Amino acid sequence: MINVFIPHRWNNNDYSEISNLLDRTKFIVRDYSVPASSPFDSIDKRYNVDPQIQKQIQYASVVVCSNRPANNNGMSIEEIKYAINTGKPVVAVKITDNTSQQILALNIPVIAKRKDSLESWIDDNIS
């Protein structure tokens, strides 16, 4: 079993694309992302990443994000930076032709949106 956190925004299909890709892998996945059906009631704006979301990231074995340039600003990139700072392995799935400059600047590997690519990356990055 692997624990996964997917930083996302609800204004695109990145979450469902990554989640569906994970479902097709050989892994049993426990998803610690924030679901649309029960978003957190309140987000504490004093933090770059709300403590409720920090806890979800801490439970994760890996963080899988999209390469979307929309990740350049806002909560998704802050969640990704938090994950990196806590030592979580992070990978970006190539969902769009253009990759976020922030993803590139953070040296996050960008992999093809294929089951075998994601399985290989997870195998190589989970101890």
Q: 40 with 67: CB under 8 angstroms?
A: no
Q: Is 42 left (phi over 0), alpha (psi -120 to 50) or beta?
A: beta
- Predicted local confidence at residue 76, as pLDDT: 84
CB-CB neighbours of 81 under 10 Å:
16
Which pLDDT belongs to residue 92? 96
Among 126, 8, 123, CA closest to 65: 8
Q: What residue segments make up the domains of the chain, in order of their start?
A: 2-125
pLDDT at residue 37, as a whole number: 62
One digit per residue, the tens of pLDDT, for the chain of length 127 reads: 999 999 987 778 899 999 999 999 999 999 999 766 656 666 666 777 888 889 999 999 999 999 987 655 667 888 999 999 999 999 999 999 999 999 999 999 999 999 999 999 999 998 6
C-alpha span between 26 and 115 (Å, rounded): 9
The CATH architecture one would assign to domain 2-125 is 3-Layer(aba) Sandwich (3.40)
